Structure 1
Amino acid sequence: MYFPFNQSGSKGYSADYEKRMLNWADSVLAANSDRKAILVAHSTLSRPKVTTSGDKPGDGDNSQQSNFTKQGKGIYEMAKNHPNVFLMLGGHIAGEGFRKDTHNGNVIKTYLSDYQSRQSPPYSGAKDRNGGSGTMRLMRLNKTKQKISILTFTPQPNGTVIKEEDGDSKFTDALYN
């Protein structure tokens, strides 16, 4: 389920649209309570202060939880009442982040991944930003092993791949708790 950008305090924000969007999502999640749900929004989390992952690969490790953005908090407040929601994804703020919230025994993990401000490899320090040079995040969900594996990488024109190895770019975690 996808939520377009509509964040309180931002240009074009509509409280009425937010209310209708959250009511719609609430009804879809309730009608499909027997199915696992992943919620994707343009804006869910801010980047934690301990990471440098904004304009180049960082040194984060998921040890400090990110804060919700205004839009992310509103979506979470609706979603936390649906035990079928287990994952929320978003971007908008350059970098990587993570948080884990539990409500009435249901765990929802939220990830930030946004590479649009990334410099081109080899990250010489120049402010050569070109949309992240194609940096991507691969998420593998393994229901059998109950694991989610994350890998962040940048394909190169010569066919090689630069893999990010820091703790908020490459990791494995429990899928549902």
Structure 2
Amino acid sequence: MTTITLVQGDITRQSVDAIVNAANSSLLGGGGVDGAIHRRGGPAILEDCQKLRDSRYGKGLPTGQAVATTAGELDADWVIHTVGPVWSSADDRSAQLASCYREALRVADELGARTVAFPAISSGVYGWPMEDAARIAVETVRDTPTAVEEVRFVLFDEAAYGAFARQVG
């Protein structure tokens, strides 16, 4: 059974097997969590991402999918990149958001990762309301069969931590 833990802090400071990156589809870095992971992890992550773009993901990583690279200078073995959906009040994209968590866990299982740190995917610049993002994240992790022993949600601030704490119970 997977243990869910919550941490308020910086995901790039976590010591885990895999850190999940809320990436943009280009895989070439960006703002928020994505930019922080690329900055702290160093150029090796970008080099791996560029190789992915040059091979399987020439048009970028599709929303809801996940792929792994080295973790570079991070205290992890891998970074699992996943592209969350942009929130829309007119279009229910919940299934895409849930897919990010399921696919990241699938990739973690393929890698043999036992500890995985997740951010609150899509809840930053992509505008997903935090309470709903937390609900989808926690429900999906609980409902997804995986060999991952610990899923650690690393939340940037007190509001995000509170939203996830209400879901974990």
Pick the TM interval, shorter chain: 0.3 to 0.5
* Larger strand fraction of residues: 1
Kindly name which structure, 1 or 2, has the bigger radius of gyration based on alpha carbons.
1
Q: What TM-score, normalized by structure 1, do the two folds share?
A: 0.33
Structure showing the higher helix proportion among its residues: 2
Relative contact order, higher structure (CA 8 A, sep 6+) = 2
TM-score by length of 2: 0.34
